[in-house]
Structure 1
Amino acid sequence: MSDSVVSLIARKKIVNDPDFVLSQIKDGDVVAISGFNEITSPDYLIERLYRLYLKTGHPRNLFIISDTFPGTPGRGLDSIAQMMYKRGDRDFIRGMLVAFYGWSETLQKMIKEEWFEAYAWSIGILAYWFREVGSGRPGVLTRVGLNTTADPRYDGTALNETAKERRTVKVQLLNIDGKEYLLYTAPKPKFALIRGSTADEIGNLSLEDEVAYGTVLNIAQATKAMPEKGTVIAQVLRVARFGTINPKSVVVPGPLVDYVVVAPREYHRQSHSFDYDPIVAGRVIPPADVMTAQMESGLDERKVVARRVALELARLVEKYGRPVVVNLGVGIPAMVGEVAMEEDIQDLVVLTVESGTWGGRPLYGPDFGVSIGAFAVLSVPDQFTMYEGGVIDAASLGFMQIDKYGNVNSFFTESKIPGPGGFPAIASGAPDIYYAGLFTAGRGTKYEVADGKLRIISDGNIVKFVNKVDKVGCSSKVMIENRKNVLYITERAVFRLTPEGLELIEVAPGVDLEKDVLAKMEFKPIMKREPELMDPRIFMPKKMGMKEELVKAIRV
């Protein structure tokens, strides 16, 4: 490509004034925004879009779709939601489809107060959807979500009454060769706001400073697909000369990008807690002492749960005689990574996270999606192929409620609507599932973990083991039909899924079965025999010695 042509393209694509390109978005348009929390979230474009609306009154009534959620508390879409709520501004957004609202308490309030129509799909379904729309297909055909709140016989992924009335986003039940499937459809995006690290003069995007690839390419593809080719706007940190980016490093080819906007550094963080760290970007694989730095060394009830999950993963290593590949969900499950590092079994229990990372130590909280020392990173659609297809060996996922049948509610209560995240697709595919969480919830909970025992000093006032969950995020019927091995692991008790319902199989040493377990449930679990005691090593401050046991189990 000649220098004159490159210069001509650059003058059109590389823009200094974001308002010039963002003003092309019209009232009522569908806008796709990349972002797995702060990972690949174009915070600068998001804020400038809202500032443009405040200044001109346009664009308004936007429908926003994201592969996960573009932002974290106080950043990205949450920052805009806070401004909207404070102003009482109901005109900027008419609808939203994302996978996870959990980092925005404000958006959750707005959903409950019917500010706009709100929907939530699994991360995997959304990532696939962008790829399918980019391929010219109508949506995602899958069995994920059957007999759950995603099923059109229930809520069809609608989170409020406004969504149930308008049904801009649809889920249809289909029968193919005697089997039920769900078809997920949504309006095709007309504009896309995506993010890369570097753009060259013709718009080729590389993501070398980012934590992961996310769904950036697929969002661009969906926007550019027929029947109406849309506009892709990319936020980057820098512009490079054409030809200086290695072709294999280009994630989004330049012809798919219409405009490039260079963002101030403060609007382009790698993750919630990281501005830039070469380790987080995967440019440097750190030594073990760096990977374990800042790990929580104390032993509390949350780590007790993570340790009990780790023991199950170790049993899988022993069963198969090889390393196992595992997914860790947000919350307590993500802490299993710290246990694996502490026990030095991370090479035998390979940890993956929905953002696309393999190996290393997954972080949690708003930094979920980052893995310190990951050895591989896939795009989100490719990662979810591993999950939904059951390529992985097991998954540990969080929960908000569990009922007597073993149904799991992972994303909806009267006070919170975090959304499903990656939960439905992972639970659908993983052959072994270990749901992990605290037995009760609420303020004032206090535990003491010492001398191989658990003592409950004061308990939470919110019962999580209920007769019927508020919303079904994962169906026990489907899990049983698919012959999954399912455990529900808490700090004081462990249950197993059976065709008859939930069976209590273990209790923690030091716990009173009647007072601390049965009295804090809305139903009586199946007890075929006296529950065993959980492994006392879980409740001791020293290491559990898992590596020595597992090395012997590996068959050469």
Structure 2
Amino acid sequence: MTATPRHPFPSSARLVERGKIVSAREAVRLIRPGDTIATSGFVGVGFAEEVAIALEARYLEEKEQGAAEGQEPIANLTIVYAAGQGDGRTKGLNHFAHEGLIKRVIGGHWGLVPGLQRMAIENRIEAYNLPQGVISQLFRDIAAHRPGQLSSVGLGTFVDPRNGGGKLNARTTEDIVRLMQIDGTDFLYYKAFPIDVAIVRGTTADLNGNVTMEKEALTLEALSIAMAARNSGGIVIAQVERLAESNTLHSRQVKIPGVMVDCVVVARPENHWQTFGEQYSAAFSSELRVAASSVPPMPLNERKIIARRAAFELMANSVVNLGIGMPEGIASVANEEQVIDLFTMTTEPGVIGGIPAGGLNFGAATNTQAIIDQPYQFDFYDGGGLDIAFLGLAQADREGNLNVSKFGPKLAGAGGFINISQAAKKVVFVGTFNAGKLDIAIDDGKLDIRRDGDCRKFVDAVEHRTFSGRYAVERGQTVLYVTERCVFELTNEGLVLTEVAPGIDVERDIVAQMGFRPVIKSPPRLMDERIFRDTPMGLRNALLGLDLSERFSYDAEKHLFFINFEGHEVATLHDVEAIRREVENQLANVEVKPHAIVNYDNFSIRPEMLDAYSEMVTKLVDDFYDGVTRYTTSSFLRMKLGDALKQRGVAPYIYESAQEAREHGTRRAG
């Protein structure tokens, strides 16, 4: 890699009367045939649409009329980008989808660029798909003149050279990913290469080319791309929406220093929307915060059922990533259940905190705590900073492998999926059980499959491996697969069916609709019935619930045993058995039986568990307690639980307040 300038841009010509301000047409005239171009953007956030339009116009003009005198026709470009940049139709990188203009594409996500997709599928260009995080970080390696990037990200997936090395068609033959061993451990080596042209975007530029981003929703990898091109001897084109006089921008707001910028293009307003879905939102740029209540709740359908079940995997004080599509519903459910403040939501382009936006606004977020550059976000992710990730479930197989990147002629690409799914301590894949014309009904807390989808998602072997189940098992990662009708967990035996929705028949609605038989060790438990009722689930209480061991406290001096069941739920026989074991462990070596005081405030028990629970309590009273005093403010629970205990000969009285119970218990213990 060399820093020798390839472009005729003498330093004496850089500062002219207009400073570095040029038209988009003038800027793209500096791009030469065979150049490698790096573009910044995430969906529509931060993408330089004006420059892309001008480059497309130059190609079409030269194709029809020929290049200007002394100008080589633009052709055979290599495009490098980390995140998907497009609207799925004509915007973004779709402007470059022309025969002859593009020779090679190295991209993180292909789903939003159907024009380039077709060229790759039809074997008309060289095409690679590498992890989004790897590409964003590789720009920094290029800037620092490192030979490449060494990472465990991608092992076991289609990016692994043993599985194709990220190549997407027969025309693509060069190996840009190598398998290396260091101290007996496998790594992937991603080769660096020079960047000839960087195309980035900001909000304001001065005549010296200093660029700020105060109205942008994200900062992305713009600085890294600019630095990579500058240190490769290339040029940097920055698109902005407005200009400022020299030396008037606040230095702390300058994101791309002018020493790295060659051309500044002032875009027309229609080509500088904040996202491809929003012209400008003050909330996306953190200019203001919006009321959480302004986010409308989801209707109770299959998407909400999946999001609700997944939301039970959330943990207080955790750092969470939400993927695009189905996982977006988890943010809506968390907001509706008023738990959004209990954890920190993040998305891969650099959002920390807040509520992620969806659709063509994906990447932007409201009420954020911070926005950092995308390469740094992936540093955080790759190093294990994510506690839990929720990602889309497109196709899974018996080994727990997942495919979200390629389906026959449809090329979606991996995006940040590989980085996120491999690095998170816990990953939850969410999606409908099958696809295409699925029709469900929800009646009285039960799920009714009126029509199954006509496309299986659970197949014997995925056609493109975006996530390696075997590699996850080797690393001891917790992996769940959540659908509207059931939940699977990944083990060393493969997918184990652990939960089933009320109203679902395992053989008919699950096994018969799969390409393999999952492991079924014992009758799967029912999914929480609250998920299937159009009322709040009380998720906040569930997330703030104590560990079972923390609910018991023994006062040896007063011979009192306090049990705090506030907010606790007994839903299964496993829950009943767990309480019995905990009491036995706590009182195993106690010589004098204590008096127990039990707090049943906000305690819930499923009707089918009442007999088992009261039987367990009866045995504990006989074996471990001198007596029991119970209390709850719920008259319904006092009646229901009191009747069950009375039938087993246990003192049924349950007090209404903690003070009454404590006074009674203290008298009994004394």
TM-score, length-normalised on structure 2?
0.76
Gaps of 5+ in 2: 1-10, 64-72, 551-670
- Cα offset, 1:553, TM superposition: 4.2
Contact (CA 8 Å) 1:324, 1:393: kept in 2 or not? yes
- What secondary structure sits across from 1:162 in the alignment? coil
Local SS of the residue matching 1:127: helix
- Selected match of 1:529 from 514, 522, 537: 522
SS of the equivalent of 2:440 reads strand
Q: Summarize the Cα distance change of 1:296–1:254 in structure 2 as closer, same or farther, 3 Å threshold.
A: same
Which of 452, 477, 502 is the aligned partner of 1:484? 477
Check conservation: 1:66, 1:126, Cα contact below 8 A.
Answer: yes
2:110 alignment partner, one of 101, 111, 122: 101
Partner secondary structure for residue 309 of structure 1: helix
> Rg larger in 1 or in 2?
2
- How many residues in Structure 1 have an aligned counterpart in Structure 2? 529
The answer to whether the 8 Å contact 2:197/2:229 transfers is: yes
Write the distance in 1 (CA, Å) between the matches of 2:374 and 2:498. 36
Cα distance change on mapping 1:526 and 1:519 into 2, 3 Å: same
- CA 1:234/1:533 → structure 2, altered by over 3 Å: closer, same or farther? same
The residue number in structure 1 matching 2:305 is 304
Residue aligning to 1:21: 27
Q: Equivalents in 2 of 1:8, 1:432: separation in Å?
A: 51
- Corresponding residue for residue 244 of structure 2: 240
CA contact (8 A) 1:103 1:366 kept: no
Q: State whether residues 210 and 254 of structure 2, in contact with CA within 8 Å, keep that contact through their aligned partners in structure 1.
A: yes
Question: Are 1:67 and 2:67 matched, yes or no?
Answer: no
Task: Choose from 386, 405, 415 the match for 1:421.
Answer: 415
Q: Residues 310-354 of structure 1, C-alpha deviation per residue, up to 9 Å, x if partnerless?
A: 1011xx33xxxxx11101111111211111111111111221111
CA distance in 1, matches of 2:12, 2:204: 16
Say whether the 8 Å CA contact 1:64–1:97 is kept in structure 2.
yes
Aligned pair 1:48/2:54, yes or no? yes
Structure 1 CA distance for aligned equivalents of residues 12 and 353 of structure 2:
40
The answer to whether residue 524 in structure 2 is matched with residue 509 in structure 1 is: no
* Shift in Å, 1:78: 4.9
Cα contact 2:84–2:108 (8 A) shared by 1: yes
How much has 1:109 moved relative to structure 2?
Answer: 2.3
2:284 to 280, 285, 294: 280
Equivalent residue for 2:120?
111
Match of 2:6 in 1: none
1:215 and 2:230 are equivalent in the alignment = no
Distance in 2 of aligned mates of 1:161 and 1:180: 26
**2:407 and 2:149 mapped to 1: Cα distance?**
27
Per the alignment, do residues 297 and 475 of structure 1 end up closer, same or farther by CA in structure 2, a change over 3 Å counting?
closer
SS in structure 2 of the partner of residue 232 of structure 1: strand
- Following the alignment from structure 1 to structure 2, what is the Cα–Cα distance between the partners of residues 30 and 368? 27
Q: CA deviation at 1:296?
A: 4.3
Given that 1:152 and 1:171 are in contact with CA atoms closer than 8 Å, whether structure 2 keeps it comes out as yes
Query: Is the Cα–Cα contact under 8 Å of residues 346 and 359 in structure 1 kept in the other structure?
Result: no
Instruction: State yes or no: 1:376 paired with 2:381.
Output: no
1:542 Cα shift?
Answer: 1.1
Q: CA deviation at 1:275?
A: 0.5
> Who is 1:224 aligned against?
230
- C-alpha distance in structure 2 between counterparts of 1:261 and 1:117, whole Å: 30
Q: 2:129 aligns with which of 114, 120, 129?
A: 120
User: Offset of 1:367 from its aligned partner?
Assistant: 1.8
1:139/1:200 CA distance change after superposition, 3 Å: same
| Displacement after TM superposition at 1:360 (Å) | 1.8
> More relative contact order in 1 or in 2 (CA 8 Å, sep 6+)?
1
1:118-517 equivalence runs, <5 A: 118-163=127-172, 165=173, 167=174, 170-225=176-231, 228-290=232-294, 292=295, 295-313=296-314, 316-317=315-316, 323-442=317-436, 444-517=437-510
Q: Distance in 2 between matches of 1:6 and 1:303?
A: 61
Distance 1:252 1:422, change over 3 A: same
| Equivalent position SS for 1:547 | helix
Q: Which moved more, 1:175-184 or 1:96-105?
A: 96-105
How many angstroms does 1:212 deviate by? Answer: 0.7
Provide Cα deviations, 1:97-119, integer angstroms capped at 9, x if missing partner: 11111123333222211121111
Residue in 2 that maps onto 1:320: none
* CA deviation vs aligned residue, 1:130-151 (integer Å, no higher than 9, x gap): 0111111122110111111001
Q: Greater CA deviation, 18-27 or 28-37? A: 18-27
Q: Cα–Cα, structure 1 residues 34 and 143, in superposed 2: closer, same or farther, change >3 Å?
A: same
Shift of 1:471: 1.2
Cα root mean square deviation, aligned: 1.9
Check the 8 A contact 1:44/1:267 in 2, yes or no. Answer: yes
CA contact (8 A) 2:83 2:109 kept: yes
What does residue 637 of structure 2 align with? Answer: none
CA distance in 2, matches of 1:296, 1:197: 33
| Offset of residue 75 of structure 1 | 4.5
Deviations 1:80-112 (A, max 9, x none): 25xx5xxxx411111111111112333322221
Whichever residue aligns with residue 502 of structure 2, its letter is: P
Residue 347 of structure 1 aligns to a residue whose secondary structure is helix
Percentage of identical aligned residues: 37
Residue 412 of structure 1 deviates from its aligned partner by 1.0
Aligned-pair CA distance for 1:522: 0.8
Q: Is the 8 A contact 1:343 1:545 kept in 2?
A: yes
Q: Kindly indicate whether the alpha-carbon contact (under 8 Å) linking 1:146 and 1:182 is maintained by their aligned counterparts in 2.
A: yes
The 4+ residue runs of structure 1 with deviation greater than 6 A are 5-8
1:538 to 514, 523, 531: 531
Partner of 1:80: 95
Report the Cα offset of residue 67 of structure 1: 1.9
Residues 13 and 258 in structure 1, CA contact (< 8 A), matched pair in contact too: no
AA partner of residue 107 (structure 2): V
Q: Secondary structure, in 3 states, of the residue corresponding to 1:137? A: coil
TM-score (norm 1): 0.92
> Is the 2:108–2:135 contact (alpha carbons within 8 Å) kept by the matching residues of 1?
yes
- CA 1:15 to 1:474, structure 2 compared with 1: closer, same or farther past 3 Å? same
In 2, distance between residues paired with 1:249 and 1:9? 22
* Change beyond 3 A, Cα 1:204–1:458: same
CA distance in 1, matches of 2:341, 2:403: 32
Q: Distance in 2 between matches of 1:502 and 1:170?
A: 33
Amino acid at match of 2:106: L
**1:543, 1:30 → 2: CA distance?**
53
Which has the higher mean CA deviation after the structures are superposed, 395-404 or 449-458?
449-458
